């Protein structure tokens, strides 16, 4: 007696494949749309460096920066609770040496605090060299994003004709916040507010030729 087996499972398998593929495609499409939405949202709530200027001043160098800073709802709520938000501007000029470790020859670090006073309903910017109040958050953020004529520290001997690597970054300093908020901020994108790190090659500015660069 001859026994034959009919491949009865093939049709269901093909049917399952036809069902799975469109479903998987839909999930993938929704995932892409979600990521694009998140990226768009993040771009609207970050820090963008727009202009950088370096000039000579009194035998040294000064930097001016124009940036756009936007806060998300989480950070705005933190302000309303009386939390001070500290922002850091950090500039560095490095001499890249193939024969030894790179040498940071110029450095500048500027920190300013932003807070809200519920009693007067005003926003306040505070730095060691100035203090200013504003009626709206937007007014405070505009001034916060403008760094003017900040003196840089020269750490090593400079060469006028040498090429250096410059870098600039602005970020929200979470280490200055109260400990409970630092714990909450760990791994949370809502608290991660920072510009991209800009890097470029440049020569030292001169009185006749200051340095200017467009950012993002």
Same domain? 167 vs 60:
yes
Using a cut of 0.85, tell me whether the model's pTM lies above it: no
Taking residues 153-174, what's their average pLDDT?
94
Domain of residue 15, residue span: 9-44
**Average pLDDT over the chain, rounded to whole?**
82
Q: How many domains does the chain have?
A: 2
pLDDT at 8: 44
47 with 173: CB under 8 angstroms?
Answer: no
Q: What is the share, in percent, of the chain residues with pLDDT greater than 90?
A: 60
Dihedral-angle region of residue 58 (phi above 0 means left; psi in -120 to 50 means alpha; beta otherwise): left
Residue ranges with strand state E in 46-192: 47-57, 60-69, 85-95, 103-117, 122-127, 130-134, 146-151, 153-154, 164-172
Same domain? 37 vs 77:
no
Taking residues 159-179, what's their average pLDDT?
92
């Amino acid at each position: 007696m001859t026994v034959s087996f009919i491949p009865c499972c093939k049709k269901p398998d093909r049917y399952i494949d036809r069902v799975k593929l469109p479903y998987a495609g839909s999930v993938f499409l929704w995932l892409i749309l979600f990521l694009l939405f998140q990226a768009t949202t993040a771009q609207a709530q970050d820090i963008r460096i727009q202009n950088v200027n370096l000039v000579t001043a009194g035998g040294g160098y000064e930097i001016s920066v124009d940036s756009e800073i936007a806060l998300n709802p989480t950070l705005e709520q933190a302000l309303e609770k009386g939390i001070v938000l500290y922002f850091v501007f950090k500039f560095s000029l490095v001499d890249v040496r193939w024969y030894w470790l790179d040498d940071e020859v110029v450095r500048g670090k500027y920190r300013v605090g932003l807070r809200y006073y519920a009693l007067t309903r005003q926003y306040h910017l505070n730095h060691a060299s100035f203090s200013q109040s504003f009626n709206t958050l937007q007014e405070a953020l505009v001034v916060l994003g403008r760094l003017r004529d900040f003196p840089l520290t020269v750490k090593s001997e400079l060469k006028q004709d040498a090429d250096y690597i410059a870098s600039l970054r602005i970020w929200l300093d979470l280490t200055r916040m109260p400990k409970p908020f630092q714990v909450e901020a760990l791994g949370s994108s809502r608290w991660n507010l920072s510009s991209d790190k800009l890097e470029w090659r440049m020569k030292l500015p001169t009185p006749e030729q200051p340095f200017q660069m467009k950012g993002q």
